[in-house]
């Protein structure tokens, strides 16, 4: 066996082991980063009993997360070490000589195995942990239906899309990545435009906010902010969880703001308007468009680098595939190359994640600042505090954990930033 293959195989193992160790260290640092004294900024929302409840919720999730990550990592590392991907390659080839069929079988088995491994943990999280802390409102029937719908969507959307990608790889040679990039970009644009109107209704009911005081207040504020939208929608999130939230989605005429029904139930009109202003702030700063363009550019760069590693007849491709096969001799293929590239690229992917999380956190501060421009920062502070309590979120994450995982700034940082704007500007009633 080529020594380069051996070295790359052990590099794959080292990447998996070091990634697992780094993630567990970050989790440990995060769970230990708990102050003995509550900061004054959140003392009004965290009485001692609630403070301890948040702590318990974080600890329970930390423990179950550690168990799941350990089991998943052991299986993945063992599968690689004992040549599991080489065995799976043989299974796929035994069914067909067609590369598209082989690729679908290969990744289909991986998807099913991953689902089976994670399912018990997901069930435990939903029906034990989330129920224990009063969040879960999902019935077994809804849960099973959601799983079936998700699987069906994966088959109906994922299988044709992936088959097209493999077909382009077969037919267009080393520049296949350009056409694949175009296909993925069109798909991403389509989903950005129509996800909320086509996919979400399969799981949740979305309805325009009914006539009344809240709708009038929202329409007046949207007009004042110069925000043209077909409607503001309410989603029936309470059928699965008591947690509250809101989000902005879509582009151009398809843009919409969606409020959870739990948000409307538990928050005042002024607090809802502040949350709405934050979402409009994302639109005003073009965050959705920037995110989409950045994602498309990133995808293109990754596909270009991938095309350098996976070329029919390339010695580099052969090395990559054999290393992914557990340092065993296999016939190079698109799907084995994709496995090897994913393992090799994972450290770079982690670095890219750091950059994009940093950008996302900056966008959140900008959206908060937009709220302050309308002198509603006090209401947003109140809403953020309620959301933190509503989710039993960790208000004291470790700074390093935030840099790696957080797409939103921690509660304390957002409150302090809004507090600074309060000192600079008079507090108004939002209009």
CA separation, residue 264 to residues 234, 251, 270, 279, 285 (Å):
8, 24, 11, 15, 25
Q: Does residue 122 carry a catalytic annotation?
A: no
- Record the tokens describing residue 29, joined without a space: 């640092």
N residues, the chain: 431
| Number of alpha helices (DSSP H) and beta strands (DSSP E) in the chain | 17, 4
Question: By three-state DSSP, how is residue 367 classified?
Answer: helix
User: Mutual orientation of helices 334-373 and 377-391 as an angle, nearest 10°?
Assistant: 140
125, 130, 279, 364: the catalytic one is 279
Is residue 125 annotated as a catalytic residue, yes or no? no
Nearest to 233 by CA among 253, 210, 216: 210
What are the two backbone dihedrals, phi and then psi, of residue 209, each rounded to the nearest 5 degrees?
Answer: -60, 130
In the set 27, 130, 364, 368, the catalytic residue is 368
Strand partners, 247: 258
CB 240 within 8 Å of CB 364: no
How many alpha carbons fall within 13 Å on the CB side of residue 32?
7
Burial class (CB in 10 A: 0-12, 13-18, 19+), 41: middle
Burial status of residue 178 (CB atoms within 10 A of its CB: 0-12, 13-18, 19 or more): middle
The dihedral built from the CA positions of residue 12, 18, 24 and 29, taken in this order, carries a sign that is: negative
Question: Considering only CA atoms, which of 71, 98, 106 is closest in space to residue 340?
Answer: 106
Catalytic sites, residue numbers: 279, 368
């Amino acid at each position: 066996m080529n020594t380069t293959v051996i070295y790359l195989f052990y590099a794959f193992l080292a990447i998996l082991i070091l990634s697992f160790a780094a993630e567990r260290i970050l989790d440990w640092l995060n769970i230990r980063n708990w102050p003995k004294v509550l900061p004054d900024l959140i003392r009004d929302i965290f009485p001692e009993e609630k403070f301890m409840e948040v702590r318990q919720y974080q600890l329970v999730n930390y423990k179950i997360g550690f168990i799941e990550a350990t089991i998943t990592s052991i299986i993945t590392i063992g599968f690689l070490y004992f040549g599991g991907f080489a065995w799976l390659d043989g299974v796929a080839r035994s069914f067909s000589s067609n590369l598209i069929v082989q690729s679908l079988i290969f990744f289909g088995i991986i998807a099913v195995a991953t689902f089976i491994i994670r399912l018990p943990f997901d069930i435990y999280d939903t029906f034990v942990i989330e129920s224990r802390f009063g969040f879960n409102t999902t019935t077994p029937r809804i849960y099973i239906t959601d799983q079936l719908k998700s699987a069906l969507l994966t088959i109906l959307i994922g299988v044709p899309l992936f088959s097209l990608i493999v077909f382009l790889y077969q037919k267009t040679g080393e520049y296949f990545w350009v056409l694949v990039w175009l296909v993925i970009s069109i798909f991403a644009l389509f989903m950005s435009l129509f996800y909320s109107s086509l996919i979400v209704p399969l799981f949740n009911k979305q309805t325009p906010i009914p006539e009344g005081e809240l709708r009038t207040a929202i329409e007046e504020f949207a007009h004042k902010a110069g925000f043209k939208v077909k409607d503001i929608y309410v989603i029936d999130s309470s059928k699965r969880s008591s947690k509250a939230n809101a989000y902005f989605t879509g582009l151009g005429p398809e843009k919409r703001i969606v409020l959870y029904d739990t948000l409307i139930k538990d928050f005042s009109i002024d607090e809802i308007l502040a949350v709405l202003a934050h979402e409009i702030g994302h639109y005003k700063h073009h965050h959705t468009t920037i995110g989409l363009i950045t994602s498309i550019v990133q995808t293109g760069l990754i596909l270009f680098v991938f095309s350098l590693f996976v070329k029919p007849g390339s010695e580099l491709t052969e090395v990559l595939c054999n290393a992914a096969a557990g340092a065993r001799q296999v016939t190079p293929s698109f799907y084995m190359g994709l496995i090897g590239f994913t393992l090799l690229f994972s450290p770079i992917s982690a670095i890219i994640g750091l950059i994009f999380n940093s950008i996302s956190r900056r966008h959140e501060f900008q959206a908060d600042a937009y709220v302050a421009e309308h002198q509603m920062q006090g209401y947003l502070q109140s809403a953020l505090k309620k959301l933190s309590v509503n989710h039993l979120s960790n208000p004291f994450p470790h700074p390093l954990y935030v840099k790696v995982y957080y797409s939103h700034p921690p509660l304390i940082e957002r409150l302090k930033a809004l507090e600074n704007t309060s000192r600079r500007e008079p507090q108004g009633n939002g209009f």
